[in-house]
Amino acid sequence: MSEEQTFEVSLEQVEDFEFRVRFEGTELKDIATDEPPPQGHDAGPNPARLLLAATANCLAASLLFALRKFRNNPGPIKARARARMARNAGGRWRIAGMEVDVQLADTAADLQHFERALAQFEDFCIVTESVRAGIPVAVRVHDGQGAEVHAATSGGAA
């Protein structure tokens, strides 16, 4: 890969499992994340819901991009997504699958080069294709004095 981009977020615990998420280097407003009861108080979406929303949003936006690439001006696109959680062999909850239904406002016959757009839109989706392939995640933990007390890298196909 000859080209890379980076972006950053920062999180700060507000209370219990609620965190304030800041999108560094942008003018975007902070958002709250939280776990549902009994751990949290539903003050915002939890990470699993954010991942599902990101996947559905990316697919809808990628389909819009693919359609516009062929000079279409489609009506509003909607998406509905469902995640299935299951316990892994170690008994830990994991996202075991996602289903995303994308709804177009237009009929297929009204869209130019529709089959070509459908054939390529998923490949444009950064989030879905990254999740499908697996993403390496490096984790470091520092104590209150800045000492690294844990480091691990796992997952991913690349």
pLDDT tens digit string along 134-157? 877 788 989 898 888 898 887 665
Beta strand 18-23 with 31-33 is antiparallel
Residues making up the chain, counted from first to last: 158
SS3 content of the chain, % helix, strand, coil (to 5): 30, 30, 40
For residue 82 the two structure tokens come to 């469902």
Q: Answer yes or no: are the C-beta atoms of 34 and 19 closer than 8 Å.
A: yes
Q: Is 77 left (phi over 0), alpha (psi -120 to 50) or beta?
A: beta
pLDDT in tens, 51-85: 999 999 999 999 999 999 999 999 999 999 999 99
Report the predicted TM-score, pTM, of the whole model to 2 decimal places: 0.89
